[in-house]
Amino acid sequence: MFTNEELSDLARFGIGAWPALNASAARLRTNPSDELLDCLRRFGASAPLLTMTLRRGDEEYARSILADSSHFPQSLVLAAEQLVTASLSDGPLSGVQQSGVRRT
């Protein structure tokens, strides 16, 4: 099993290191850390990461991703946005629309 540091180092191979990318993403879902965020940042925005989810309680990491969104895989940015939006006291914007806000 590779360490987080070894996975991060494999990012230098780009798309050829997709197993390391997926392993890093899986670890982020189960045990997020700044080290894993740095690893995924090294893979870059064009990294071919499939659908990603983040767990409730990981809003701090989600906000870190959104603060530097141009350097993370797109699916991770979308997952971070979804988590942060869902954590707002008013709920997701789709819920606000359904609650009676009229379109003009």
Tell me what pLDDT residue 39 has: 94
Mean pLDDT of all residues in 56-78: 93
pLDDT at residue 86 tops 80: yes
Task: Please state the pTM of the whole predicted model.
Answer: 0.78
> In which region does residue 11 sit, left (phi positive, over 0), alpha (psi from -120 to 50) or beta (all else)?
alpha
pLDDT at residue 1 tops 70: yes
pLDDT at residue 93 tops 80: no
pLDDT band at 70 (very low <50, low <70, confident <90, very high): very high
pLDDT at residue 103 tops 70: no
Token look-up 């064009």 returns 46
SS3 per-residue string spanning the chain = CCCHHHHHHHHHHHHHHHHHHHHHHHHHHHCCCHHHHHHHHHHCCCCCCCCCCCCCCCHHHHHHHHHCHHHCCHHHHHHHHHHHHHHCCCCCHHHHHHCCCCCC
Tell me what pLDDT residue 96 has: 52
Write the CB contacts of 82 (distance below 8 Å, at least 6 apart in sequence): 54
pLDDT band at 27 (very low <50, low <70, confident <90, very high): very high
Q: What whole-number distance in Å separates Cα of residue 26 and Cα of residue 36?
A: 10
